[in-house]
Structure 1
Amino acid sequence: MIKNLAIILVVFLCAKSTYSELYTALAELEELLHTEHALITVIKNYITAQEQNMLLLKRYVEAYTDQYKKASDDAQAYVENPINAYLLVKRLTTDWEVVQNLINKNIGEELITDFYEHTTDLKFPSYEDLNGAAVALTRLQDTYQLDTSSLANGEINGVKYATELTAADCFELGRQSYNNADHYHTYLWMMEADERLKREVNQTVERSEILEYLAFSTFMLGHVGLALTLTNKILELVPTHERALRNKVYYEDEITKTNSPQSTGENESILIIQNNTEGSLPYEALCRGEIRPSDAILAQLKCRYTDNGNPFLKIAPFKVEEAYLDPQILIFHDVMADHEIATIKELARPRFQRASVLNFFTGAMEIVQYRISKSAWLKEIEHKHIADVVQRVEDMTRLSMETAEELQVVNYGIGGHYEPHFDFAVAGDANAFKSLGAGNRIATLLFYMSDVAQGGATVFPYLDVALWPKKGAAAFWYNLHSSGEGDKRTRHAACPVLAGSKWSTLPNGLIHSCINVITIIFFLVSNKWMHEDGQQFRRPCDLERPPPEFTA
């Protein structure tokens, strides 16, 4: 601050340095009183600005402290909430940028430089992370048909999970959607930002900025009249707004060309929402729990104890629940202990990388937007607990683990999901699993390593089946018919987690029919895929082709 005041004084002294011998004329000395008055005004303005900066900094530190205290009670539960996760990323990106600018104004670049020199071990999210968190929230919003206002209130399906969003928080969600050319969600979140701004005592964003995004996105959604109405509101606030002036002329021309009436806004706003809520994907209804198998199918399902013909399991048989009969989908309960889960998480965490999928045409692994998660692979030799888990997979499935893939551990982040897919390679994919040399994935076993408060189901759209995560349980199904052909009815998806963090493991779970290869997939927690090779005597081949199923 002293440095800045010195600069101000130098500027004013230099400005008057052209006068010579001011002391010789009282009239000229009197002029210095005007200079002094201007200097006093500048200094007062500077102090006022600094005080305003300090007030803003106090608000930010209070907000940071409040959220940190809430997170300290249960850090995992805090970050598992998607709204909290989004706000945490936002606080460390856009909010931190504002704070950094305020600090620069107060203590200069030296302090910021010193800060970074001593904080090399800290992680800061990137703007890509911010965009990803925003996209994840909108994905959850669509998948579970969440009301925008309730979500902004920190509520998910009527349960209060997180802090309310400010107008600026909603604005940032809308802005990120706009950057992704997602004008529908831009519209929703800018509308919410505008409503919240009206109730804020200390307004967190300029209304003209909200209206500018809102108007253009409304236009891109095909509602020119409403776009013009919103643009006129911008000009009421900022009559000289250059873009609004240009857009006003353009919108008026468009209305004239199409002979469409200018909208008042209210009815057309409702129409925008109605027209854009009809695109829900079929599998998302399963994610929401709106669909289930018929009562006739459910009546045939049973729960039982089984030892799978293993004498060792006579004393402690598996608890098995039938989720579907044809194709058979089983849920094994209490088959992974807490200490095993802890070991797997500990080993997997430092190795997590963005999950990729196999391109069956090229044989290469690729990162895709329809699978959002991070994964790691663990070997049996790394720890006794992993070896025990893999042996348990063999006991449960009666399939050989010799050709199974390593245990894959998967952690889905904010809005993490995996859209409908097959675990097996479809006909014609010559390069699929070529490097393994063990045939196709015959079966999948998926361990759930945590409970999930809301969402996170594994769904089978063709069967209308949804499997809900339960810590320590495992789901098992064959991906191939006994003839070796892929069973397209096993097409499945991983629904995004609404509240809670979904961990899963797939141990030697995808077992590959006649070719007897075991593929192991860790689904949302940990997976084991099993391949066909080695299974010839464990699951004998059936030479008859299966009946036609459906066109996937």
Structure 2
Amino acid sequence: MRTVAIVCLLAALADADLFTAIADLQHMLGAEKDVTTVIDQYIAAERARLDDLRRYAHEYVHRNAHAEAVGPEFVTNPINAYLLIKRLTSEWKKVENIMLNNKATTFLKNITDNRVRSEVKFPGEEDLSGAAIALLRLQDTYKLDTLDLSNGIIGGEKVSNKLSGHDTFEVGRAAYNQKDYYHCLMWMQVALNKIENESPPTVEESEILEYLAYSLYQQGNVRRALSLTKRLAKIAPNHPRAKGNVKWYEDMLQGKDMVGDLPPIVNKRVEFDGIVERDAYEALCRGEIPPVEEKWKNKLRCYLKRDKPFLKIAPIKVEILRFDPLAVLFKNVISDSEIEVIKELASPKLKRATVQNSKTGELEHATYRISKSAWLKGDLDPVIDRVNRRIEDFTGLNQATSEELQVANYGLGGHYDPHFDFARVN
């Protein structure tokens, strides 16, 4: 038996996105294996094509060596002249066809067709950006060090491969595109450090410097932004913006603080969402705030709920977590077999979760809700009906007027920010 938490969330169906649900990402593992197979087949086909070209090249070398040994008289022989002309016309056309017959288009089409047949979704730019932002959200929530995270280290343990300079750069660029200069600054600095040990570097230093300099400026580090921009202008003299940006930063400083050691970097996290509970809920996630106040600890208890006819036969385990406000946990309310049925029914129905715009009333996607949801009607399957009746028994809530059973699948850095779970009419 398992424990399930019952929550009521306002949601509706929307377009699918890969980064918003782990279920879709799991399907991608098989797709990546298929891509690897196709690449291997393409390499084998190209190797055969290049072997044909090599054979023609060897024949040309051999024949040309013989012709040079004979001298100019070689072409006075009508048979030799015919063969020379043939080699440079019909045979050369074969060579041209072999050189032009790169099978890349065919193999790429195979990958596309396989994707359509298998209905496996491939990620897009939004998924890449969403995956990067997920890393930043987890970094903030659990106070993870940027360098450690880029080296696959979390909590002192090696949990993944290292990110390359370019991998790290892309995370920083995703932050930049969100106008999140706090994270962009940290990740671009790590990217700059990483390429120092890469040969060749996976991303150009000039690319990193422009993003890093502007992020430094946005965080109030104008002198450091100027210093990096001068370096950018030096290593990339044809850069379209570097010289203009140098003058822009110099004009901004107006000759002040232009000499001496550079001041320490200031990089303060700025919140744009206005969620006053953010620090508290992040601290809860880290386990820094106990869920139960000390004054309630001696009063909390567990008991068997038997106040309904069915519960007298199959009582429900209840744990009181706190009294003000009252929060209880119902335990062992759903079996493994029921869970598998619900997952099977929900998977094809999963759609990206939406929220209601407080001004327009329209349903829309939001960065503060990263998940996919499915709604299951009670008459869809006997298991759903049985679970609904069980929920009514142990909560005392009337399921006839409630929302349908909701199944949520959270994606990369999946979350739902603190919010009021009711509709407000302006």
The answer to whether the 8 A contact 1:376-1:410 is kept is: yes
How well do the aligned residues superpose, as a CA RMSD in angstroms? Answer: 3.3
C-alpha deviations, 1:160-202, integer Å up to 9, x for none?
A: 3322111110001111211222212111110111111122244
Q: 1:378 to 1:264 in 2, by over 3 A?
A: farther
**Number of the residue aligned with 2:50:** none
CA distance in structure 2 between the aligned counterparts of 1:290 and 1:260, rounded to whole angstroms:
42
Sort the Cα spacing of 1:381 and 1:375 in 2 relative to 1 into closer, same or farther, 3 A: same
Aligned to 2:105: 110
Matched, 1:276 2:269: yes
Which amino acid is 1:119 matched to?
A: N
Q: 1:166 to 1:105 in 2, by over 3 A?
A: farther
Question: Judging changes above 3 Å, is the alpha-carbon distance between structure 1 residues 294 and 363 closer, same or farther for their aligned structure 2 residues?
Answer: same
The equivalent residue for 1:421 is 419
How far, CA to CA, are the matches of 1:315 and 1:128 in structure 2? 51
Q: Does 1:222 align with 2:220?
A: yes
Q: Residues 462-496 of structure 1: CA distance to partner in whole angstroms, max 9, x if unpaired? A: xxxxxxxxxxxxxxxxxxxxxxxxxxxxxxxxxxx
1:289 is matched with which residue? 287
**Residue 352 of structure 2 aligns with which residue?**
354
CA positional deviation for 1:225 = 0.2
> CA offsets, 1:388-443, max 9 Å, x none?
211110111122211111001111111111111222345xx39xxxxxxxxxxxxx
Q: CA deviation at 1:306?
A: 2.1
Q: Using a 3 Å threshold, how does the CA distance of structure 1 residues 117 and 183 change in structure 2: closer, same or farther?
A: closer
Q: Which residue of 1 aligns with 2:305?
A: 306
Residues 159 and 302 (structure 1), Cα distance of their counterparts in 2 relative to 1, 3 Å cut: farther
Q: 1:162 is matched with which residue?
A: 160
Report the Cα offset of residue 261 of structure 1: 3.8
- 1:141 paired residue number: 139
Question: What SS does the corresponding residue of 1:246 show, helix, strand or coil?
Answer: helix
Report how far residue 313 of structure 1 moved.
2.5
What aligned pairs does 1:362-511 form with structure 2 within 5 A after superposition?
364-425=362-423, 429=425
Aligned match of 1:330 in 309, 328, 331? 328
Q: CA deviation at 1:314?
A: 3.0
What letter matches 2:377 in structure 1? K
Write the distance in 2 (CA, Å) between the matches of 1:260 and 1:366: 48
Supply the AA of the counterpart residue of 2:187: W
Q: Deviations over 1:245-265 (max 9, x none)?
A: 2211221221226x2345745
* Structure 1 residues 106 and 340: CA distance shift in structure 2, 3 A: farther
Q: Could you give the per-residue CA deviations for residues 279-323 of structure 1, whole angstroms, max 9, x where no partner exists?
A: 96332222222112431122221122222x124333432111111
Q: For 2:101 and 2:231, how far apart are their aligned partners in 1?
A: 36
Question: Larger % of helix: which?
Answer: 2
Distance 1:232 1:263, change over 3 A: farther
The separation in 1 between residues aligned to 2:167 and 2:361, in whole angstroms, is 42
Check whether the contact 1:226–1:268 (CA below 8 A) recurs between aligned residues. no
Distance 2:238 2:360 in 1: 56
Instruction: Check 1:248–1:341 CA distance in 2 against 1; reply closer, same or farther (3 A cut).
Output: same
Q: Contact 1:186–1:217 at 8 Å: present in 2 too?
A: yes
Aligned residue type for 2:365? I
Distance 1:237 1:263 in 2: 23
Residue 320 of structure 1 corresponds to: 318
User: What is the one-letter code of the residue matched to 1:352?
Assistant: L
With the length of structure 2 as denominator, give the TM-score of the two structures.
0.69
Contact 1:134/1:173, CA 8 A, preserved across alignment: yes
| Residues 1:260 and 2:253 aligned together | no
Instruction: Give CA deviations for 1:485-530 in whole Å, capped at 9, x if unaligned.
Output: xxxxxxxxxxxxxxxxxxxxxxxxxxxxxxxxxxxxxxxxxxxxxx
Kindly indicate which of the two structures has a greater share of residues assigned to strand.
1
Residues 355 and 105 of structure 1: CA distance in aligned 2, closer, same or farther (over 3 Å):
farther
Q: For residues 263 and 248 of structure 1, do their structure 2 counterparts lie closer, same or farther at Cα, with a shift above 3 Å needed? A: farther
Alpha-carbon deviation of 1:143?
Answer: 2.1
The amino acid that maps onto 1:276 is R
Aligned to 2:191: 193
Query: 1:119/1:312 Cα in 2 relative to 1: closer, same or farther (>3 Å)?
Result: closer
Task: Give the Å deviation of 1:208.
Answer: 1.7
Deviations 1:333-370 (A, max 9, x none): 11111111111111111111111234566654333332
**Secondary structure at the counterpart of residue 208 of structure 1:** helix
Q: Residues 78-100 of structure 1, C-alpha deviation per residue, up to 9 Å, x if partnerless?
A: x969xx99x98xx99xxxxxxxx
Matched-pair contact (CA < 8 Å) for 2:166–2:203: yes
CA deviation after TM superposition for structure 1 residue 234, in Å: 2.1
Shift of 1:146: 1.5
Secondary structure at the residue paired with 2:418? strand
> What is the alpha-carbon distance in structure 1 between the residues aligned to residue 297 and residue 322 of structure 2?
8
What runs of 5+ residues in structure 1 fail to find an aligned partner? 1-78, 93-101, 431-552
How many angstroms apart in 2 are the aligned matches of 1:196 and 1:177? 18
> In the superposition, relative to structure 1, how do residues 225 and 112 fare at CA in structure 2: closer, same or farther (>3 Å)?
farther
Could you tell me whether the CA contact under 8 Å between 1:228 and 1:262 is conserved in 2? no
SS in 1 for 2:288: coil
Question: Counterparts of 1:383 and 1:159 in 2: how far apart (Å)?
Answer: 44
In structure 2, the partner of 1:447 is none
1:358–1:366 CA contact under 8 A, matched in 2: yes
Write the distance in 2 (CA, Å) between the matches of 1:385 and 1:176: 43
1:75-114 → structure 2 map (5 Å cutoff): 107=102, 110-111=105-106, 114=109
CA 294–261 in structure 1, closer or farther in 2 if over 3 Å, else same: farther
- Residue deviations 1:101-130, cap 9 Å, x none? x99999376346534553342422111111
2:301 partner amino acid: K
Aligned AA (1:127): E
Residue identity in the other structure for 2:102 = I
Where does 1:178-189 land on structure 2 (aligned, <5 Å)?
178-189=176-187
Higher relative contact order (CA 8 A, sep 6+): 2
User: Which residue is equivalent to 2:338?
Assistant: 340
Distance 1:154 1:387 in 2: 44
Matches within 5 A, 1:20-31: none
Pairwise CA distance, 1:277? 7.6
Q: Write the distance in 1 (CA, Å) between the matches of 2:315 and 2:191.
A: 56
User: Displacement, 1:376?
Assistant: 0.8
